[in-house]
Amino acid sequence: MATPAFPDTAAAEHAVLGGRHAVVTGASRGIGAAIADHLAALGADLTLIGRDAATLAPRQQEVVERYGVRAGAEVADVTDPDQVAAAMAAATDRLGPPVILVNNAGAAESAPFARTDAALLERMIGVNLGGTFLMTRQVVPAMVEAGFGRIVNIASTAGLKGYRYTTAYCTAKHAVIGLTRSLALELATTGVTVNAVCPGYTETDMVAGAVANIVEKTGKSAAEAKALLAANNPQGRLVEPGEVAAAVAWLCGPEAGAMTGQAITVAGGEVM
């Protein structure tokens, strides 16, 4: 009697998104880079979008060499409609219409409300909400036509609660959650799902910037400043980018078809 063959787990995982075209914004580092890795490990072909060609090119090469998928990189500012349209046209020409979009590009600035001017509010809304809106408009028609699509917006716990000194950022991220929920209902019968993932403070360059800001303004050490941020997490730590990426990757898969309009928190229990 022949010994039963066990499935090749790696091959099976690679087939989950095999051949599907996924676009990830803000893909050169941090959470975006981790998301690109997770999607490529599941077999997705990738378009990486960011503002810096020098950081995008190594990421593109790395996912091709490590995972054997096709990948392209497009330099674009997601707040610029013309740049977004050009990047998505090039991506579609290269790999076909995307059926997965991860809106990860974002920015955070902090200031007391008294020093939060219209320009700061405009910057936060422009990249966090406007970029998500512009990118999503590019992909929805083809996804609806295909009868399958996955849109995942990287929001924040700041989209679900308030934080001191971040009025503009919280406003923008709350708006991203609103966009997610409304569009999810609009597309509910099309096979296209729309969800948000809401990380708490995560070990990224953005948090490193927050640590530096605390150090500058309070005189605390970097370790003390980092501990202040980690204290928001009931687990007493910062979230790892790969933990956020794992949640995103699951939402992009075929088994997550009943998940739409959700804001999934990855924050160690900070928001329940």
Structure tokens at 163: 């934080």
d(CA 17, CA 22): 9
Q: Which residues pair with 74 in a beta bridge?
A: 49
Candidate list 163, 165, 169, 201, residue with the active-site label: 169
Contact predicate 131/26, CB 8 Å:
no
Structure tokens at 263: 């804001």
- Residue 153: its H or E element: strand 149-154
**Residue for token pair 């924040």:** 156
With CA atoms as reference, report the closest residue to 204 among 251, 243, 151.
243
Q: Is 67 a catalytic residue?
A: no
* DSSP-assigned states of every residue in 173-185: HHHHHHHHHHHHH
d(CA 151, CA 194): 5
Question: Where in the sequence numbering do the catalytic residues fall?
Answer: 169
